[in-house]
Amino acid sequence: LLALLALAGAPTIEAQPESAYYGVALGNFDYQENDFFGAPFVSDTVSSYRLMVGYQFMEHLTVEGGYGKTGTIRDTATVPTFPSGTVDLNVSYEFSMLTIRLLGVLPFDNGVSLLGGLGYTDMKGKFSFTDGVDSASGSETTNEPGYYIGAQYDWDRFAMRLGYEKFDFDGDVDASETMLTFFYKI
């Protein structure tokens, strides 16, 4: 939607030259996973970071790539046992993420730009469960689309952006990331 708005408003907005950039994003990763009955199973907010590279092809179109990690998501989940009873599991997850995004850019004359677009993230997760006696661990890979919005302020060689990305997990997982990104333009 922002990309279409950017194209519609193109004649009234000052042009910016093509540019490559790189940077670092620091943020918070919110994660919630529900059990089979829809009740919260794991819920936590942890710090995250990403190393970013990008290229603005046109005034209103940029592509970005990034690699990052989350902190360790920790929670205690109560799980029913057979034939009756429950057990408390200490759960921990950690994700590494490889992302590519296509963003529409709506630049204004005062250095502010609005961004919106779609991304694709390859997430590799490490997990472990323990009840204090027995434990299990493993890893899984998932590929998730994401929806991104942000606001950026540009100087000559630097830019700062506040962004929000919502990951579209299937099923009972809800995840999002809020990031403050610092860019250097080449």
Q: What is the mean pLDDT of residues 31-41?
A: 78
pLDDT tens, residue by residue, 75-120: 887 777 777 777 788 889 899 999 999 999 999 999 999 999 999 9
Q: Are strands 19-34 and 40-58 parallel, antiparallel or unpaired?
A: antiparallel
**What pLDDT does residue 14 have?**
42
The answer to whether 13 touches 109, Cβ cutoff 8 Å, is yes
Task: Say yes or no to pLDDT of 1 above 50.
Answer: no
Structure tokens at 135: 């434990």
Per the listing, tokens 């921990």 go with: 92
- In angstroms, rounded to a whole number, what is the distance separating the alpha carbons of residues 88 and 67? 34
The residues near 124 (Cβ < 8 Å, ≥ 6 apart) are 95, 96, 97, 139, 140, 141
The string of DSSP letters for 75-115 reads: EEEEEE-SSS-EEEEEEEEEEEEEEEEEEEEEE-TTSEEEE
Q: Which two three-digit tokens encode residue 124?
A: 């590799």
Average pLDDT, the chain: 86
pLDDT at 17: 56
